[in-house]
Amino acid sequence: MDAIVTNDYYVWGTLAVLLLLAEAATFTSVALVFSIAASVVFLSLLLAGMPESVAGQLLLFTVSGIALYFPIRRFQKNTATLSTTGDVAASLADAPAGTVKSIDEGGCSGRVVLAHAFLGGREWMFTSELPMQVGEAVDIIDVRGNIIMINKKRGE
């Protein structure tokens, strides 16, 4: 047992694995960065036996963590997928038809259920210029924020 406590690389290896598990559970880049930083300390102790002091190990952990954080965050921001909500005009051409699920007082607003997901959602709040009835088939004509504008389905 004394050998495990005196071998600091076990502590850093365990910390690296625990931080990697935290990354898997939270999907944040911070736990990943510091898991890699703990791995750097682990490998430096295992292969070179340096740094021997706890202060040196903490300094190496901190410096390597900070040095890795900014490039990894920049890479994540550059490779992040773009939101599809910005290209509404192109999405409207392929917008699914829907059915009015519920209406508010006046009949010009309520909720509609679409045949399949549109811009990430299958059920949307709607507004329309004409009063709608529950169960009526509709087409999407525009998107304004998180509310769709609808008309009665063409040809009916």
- For 50-96, what is each residue's pLDDT tens digit? 888 888 889 999 999 999 988 888 887 776 654 444 566 666 777 78
Chosen domain end from 45, 79, 113: 79
Same domain, 12 and 43: yes
Chosen domain end from 79, 96, 120: 79
What is the rounded distance in angstroms from the CA atom of residue 124 to the CA atom of residue 147? 7
Give the domain extent around 117. Answer: 85-152
Specify whether the CB–CB gap between 111 and 126 falls below 8 A. Answer: yes
Q: What is the pLDDT of residue 23?
A: 86
Same domain, 73 and 116: no
Same domain, 93 and 59: no
The alpha helices in the chain, defined as continuous H runs, are: 2-6, 8-26, 29-47, 54-79, 88-93
The per-residue pLDDT for range 91-136, each reduced to its tens digit, is 677 778 889 998 888 888 899 988 877 777 788 888 998 888 899 9
- Indicate the pTM of the whole model: 0.48
Chosen domain end from 24, 59, 79: 79
Q: Whose structure tokens read 């040196």?
A: 56
What is the rounded distance in angstroms from the CA atom of residue 143 to the CA atom of residue 87? 10
Number of domains in the chain: 2
